[in-house]
Structure 1
Amino acid sequence: MSDQTFHLPDVGEGLTEAEIVSWRVAPGDTVDVNDVLVEIETAKSLVELPSPFAGTVGELLVAEGATVDVGAAIITISGGQDAAAPASPAAPAADAGEGSGSVLVGYGSAEQVHSRRRKPAEKPVAASVGVVAKPPIRKLARDLGVDLASVVPSGPAGEVTREDVVAHASQASVFRNIETPEWPEVREETIAVAAAVSEVDDVRVESIPVRGVRKATASAMTSSAYSAPHVSVWTDVDATRTMELVKRLKASPDFADIKVSPLLIMARAVIWAVRRTPMVNAAWVEGDDGAQISVRHYVNLGIAAATPRGLLVPNIKDAQDLSMRDLARALEKLTLTAREGRTAPADQQGGTITITNIGVFGMDAGTPIINPGESGIVALGTIRQKPWVVDGEVRPRWVTTVAGSFDHRVIDGDGMSRFIADVAAVLEEPALLVE
């Protein structure tokens, strides 16, 4: 059989371009249908592309780090048979007149795709010889900058689990500012790119290409900031009872295998407050017949997540129907998936209101920008002990600040103030959630 060419497909999210992150095969490798060929980064997620052909890898047509348009030829494969299944209608996987056919990652189940040769990280954190951990856990450790050899394993067979890595990374982040790097701190790959473009000797200035998640975030935030008139309000909250509830939940057998944090109570508070002020869950929609306000009677709760790839806002679908335990599990899954850079495009679409937990960075409050397609975003500040007046006496209490930004075209001042007051009321007295 003659050489067959695999073209960059649209992986189901309407993308126009993607970056080649890493090739999983090399010229001369033998591949089967559904073996992973390459990992790409789109504006929303990392995606592994499987081979629609069986045969021998001929030529890698695009270098790692390059950004190419959908439909561009990226690899040739020769001497084998193509898949029997029909190609995805959205994915021009092969040359015209040639069969293609595999199910792309994201279209089919994960079990259908078989990873082949995985390139070692260019800058591994540590060899971690003797550490028992699955390949996805090792990749997560590399992405988070965690030395697996320093992680205490909790798996039943003595293996390092995903939770072990995340917990270690969270603890290490507390000390992120203790060591100050020397000037200049410029990435080697950035220098290489600059040198390839022009003769640049001054490495004191670093130029970072704007693409992928950063490009999508910049576009979305600019559009939101200049189309929706933002108004922000905030209030301080005595969250002592919230901290007590979190402590009790952590000790409960029902939550033994689930991470519990104040964000869980915040999420329940937002869902509860939305029912009392539905307009914060609405959207301003421009149509051919003029503008209208679309009020959603469900909550797809977005959680702004800082990831190694940039800011992502995945959301929990129909969060209003979840129990406290199910919501805690959904939050944990959302966070872990985002940190691994594996959030599916569908999980980032259709959000109705967002929470940004700036408290994890030690911030008290902020004025966040509304996520496009929504009318409200709530910020939870850090929770720390402060002097607080209780029954006429000054006592140490756990205090935080709840802030929110809103689209003033949709929500009036009384509505946004009432909503933030309701969220604050639940954090002060979580028993309000029991109805």
Structure 2
Amino acid sequence: MTATMIKEFKLPDLGEGLTESEILSWKVAVGDTVTLNQVIAEVETAKAVVELPSPFAGTVAALHEQPGTVVEVGKPIVSFEVDDAGSSNGGGATSGNGSATETPGTEAAPAKREPNLVGYGAVVEHTGRPTRRARGLAQASPTASPAPAAPATGVGERPRSTPPVRKLARDLGVDMSAVSGTGPGGLITRDDVHAFTSDVTSAVGTAQEIAGNAAIPAHAAQGERETRTPIKGVRKFTAAAMVQSAFTAPHVTEFLTVDVTATMDLLARLKGNRAFEGYKLTPLTIAAKAVLVALRNNPTLNSRWDEASQEIVQFNYVNLGIAAATPRGLTVPNIKDADRLTLRELSTALTELTDTARAGKTSPSDLSGGTISITNIGVFGIDAGTPILNPGEAAIVALGAVRKAPWVVNDELAVRQVMSLSLSFDHRLVDGEQGSRFLADLGAILSDPAMVMTMI
């Protein structure tokens, strides 16, 4: 008779140093038989909705958390009854991403390699001498022995932290030199960064109050005068990030209204062109391409401020962020290496990006690494605004609605199609002249698409 054992699956770090996730729904029930990598749950991180694949083939023995519960990374969420001889790791306990452990009292067989599940990061190899990554994981583990205290960081030195924590700080616009580390030897942890963000948020008005004004209202009971919706997941993260961005980067916003009749005529011709049959073309498609062209002559706007190293990092590629309104809040997924795409490829990427965002299926990797963003407020009938920078970026462009308006053409009044452009930029990185030249180039392209020939 084949022996079985109970395996616990702990909530993994789903990327970007996220510390918790909310269980949205279970795709399995106790007693169900599952296969390796079968989707067992849908969870919402601070950035996206993610499907969790099963780390084992076996039977669901217990579900430890209910839908709607926010669970910390590393906490057991489900137990499986697996075949001792055929289990995915041969009975070995693992730690780190996609943690799975045996229940106490079960004799473990020699440890084998844990399957590398999609979305759970790289596998940690356990050897006689721990690797640098394995040592970092052991130090972060709540069950690991504390490391010896290191000498405190001296004044002027780079704050001590791990690469994931430094990236988290960059994404939130946090100055690492202003954060006090509570880890061994003054090491700055993820909790320290989040705590610092919370302190800043409290100083300018809590993120809950700001996000609450924009939160999607829940249905109120009959006769109630107020409706309260918990602030969590994407909306909570967005609120904190926007507050941090607004009060860390000195924003400057410039406006330009342009005649886009020629662009709209081009759009109509492209839609009737057989080469673009089946492609979704909109004013956003052309404007996104125009932004990418304008950046070639104005690369300063495609950069970020690295407070920790006191450096300006200029990107030699463009990951174009597109602000998307979703039922769970604002997200800004980005198109990787958008500057290398043709107009048709860009059209396909924009369609996939918006469809995925609206479905709540955007992956954490698609929400990180952006270099410049566009927000299309024109779809809501708005002409202009003062967009807040996506954390870690130097500029964001807001596209206004295309409207028919009186316009002077060759000293005569005519009815033309016009659009207002709004550009917000980080004045630490971008001077007024640089921002103005970029906006002027963008306007020139949209006024006369043939101007592209002078810029490439």
With the shorter chain as reference, the TM-score category is: 0.7 to 0.9
In structure 2, the partner of 1:400 is: 419
Match of 1:275 among 258, 283, 296: 296
Is the contact between residue 217 and residue 228 of structure 2 (CA under 8 Å) also seen in structure 1?
no
Q: Number of aligned pairs?
A: 347
Q: How far did residue 272 of structure 1 move?
A: 1.4
SS of structure 2 residue aligned to 1:328: helix
In structure 1, the partner of 2:71 is: 68
In structure 2, the partner of 1:104 is: 117
- TM-score w.r.t. the length of structure 2 is 0.71
1:93 pairs with 2:114? no
1:58 pairs with 2:61? yes
In structure 2, the partner of 1:380 is: 399
Deviates more, 1:413-422 or 1:51-60: 51-60
Is the contact between residue 8 and residue 78 of structure 2 (CA under 8 Å) also seen in structure 1?
yes
In structure 1, the partner of 2:380 is: 361
Q: Deviations over 1:24-63 (max 9, x none)?
A: 1112222222222111111112111122222222222111
Alpha-carbon distance between aligned partners in 1 of 2:292 and 2:89, rounded to the nearest angstrom:
47
In structure 1, the partner of 2:154 is: none
SS of structure 2 residue aligned to 1:341: coil
Match of 1:295 among 281, 306, 314: 314
Q: Which amino acid aligns with 1:304?
A: A
Alpha-carbon distance between aligned partners in 1 of 2:328 and 2:381, rounded to the nearest angstrom:
21
In structure 1, the partner of 2:441 is: 422
Alpha-carbon distance between aligned partners in 2 of 1:104 and 1:15, rounded to the nearest angstrom:
18
Alpha-carbon distance between aligned partners in 2 of 1:95 and 1:270, rounded to the nearest angstrom:
53
Aligned runs of 1:305-384 on 2, under 5 Å? 305-384=324-403
Aligned runs of 1:59-208 on 2, under 5 Å? 59-80=62-83, 81-84=86-89, 89-95=96-102, 101-106=114-119, 187=218, 203-208=224-229
SS of structure 1 residue aligned to 2:8: strand
Q: How far did residue 95 of structure 1 move?
A: 3.8
Q: How far did residue 334 of structure 1 move?
A: 1.3
Change (3 A) 1:36 1:101: farther
Match of 2:245 among 224, 227, 252: 224
Gapped regions of structure 1 (runs ≥ 5): 109-184, 192-200
Q: Which amino acid aligns with 2:79?
A: T
Q: Which amino acid aligns with 1:329?
A: T
Alpha-carbon distance between aligned partners in 2 of 1:271 and 1:216, rounded to the nearest angstrom:
28
Change (3 A) 1:10 1:412: same
Alpha-carbon distance between aligned partners in 2 of 1:416 and 1:241, rounded to the nearest angstrom:
24
Gapped regions of structure 2 (runs ≥ 5): 122-215
SS of structure 2 residue aligned to 1:220: helix
Is the contact between residue 264 and residue 283 of structure 2 (CA under 8 Å) also seen in structure 1?
yes
Q: Deviations over 1:120-156 (max 9, x none)?
A: xxxxxxxxxxxxxxxxxxxxxxxxxxxxxxxxxxxxx
Q: Deviations over 1:195-228 (max 9, x none)?
A: xxxxxx9732122111111111112111110110
Alpha-carbon distance between aligned partners in 2 of 1:415 and 1:272, rounded to the nearest angstrom:
15
Percent of pairs with identical residues: 51
In structure 1, the partner of 2:257 is: 236
Q: How far did residue 105 of structure 1 move?
A: 3.9
Q: Which amino acid aligns with 1:90?
A: N
SS of structure 2 residue aligned to 1:2: strand
Alpha-carbon distance between aligned partners in 2 of 1:272 and 1:261, rounded to the nearest angstrom:
17
SS of structure 2 residue aligned to 1:287: coil
Match of 1:42 among 40, 45, 57: 45
Q: Deviations over 1:216-275 (max 9, x none)?
A: 111211111011010100011101011111111111111112100111111111111111
1:214 pairs with 2:251? no
Change (3 A) 1:2 1:202: farther
SS of structure 2 residue aligned to 1:246: helix
In structure 2, the partner of 1:7 is: 10
Q: Which amino acid aligns with 1:273?
A: A
Q: How far did residue 103 of structure 1 move?
A: 4.2
Q: How far did residue 428 of structure 1 move?
A: 0.3
- TM-score w.r.t. the length of structure 1 is 0.75
Is the contact between residue 88 and residue 103 of structure 1 (CA under 8 Å) also seen in structure 2?
no
Alpha-carbon distance between aligned partners in 2 of 1:250 and 1:276, rounded to the nearest angstrom:
29
Is the contact between residue 383 and residue 399 of structure 1 (CA under 8 Å) also seen in structure 2?
yes
In structure 2, the partner of 1:132 is: none
Q: How far did residue 365 of structure 1 move?
A: 0.4
Deviates more, 1:321-330 or 1:50-59: 50-59
Q: How far did residue 67 of structure 1 move?
A: 0.3
Q: How far did residue 84 of structure 1 move?
A: 4.8
In structure 1, the partner of 2:30 is: 27
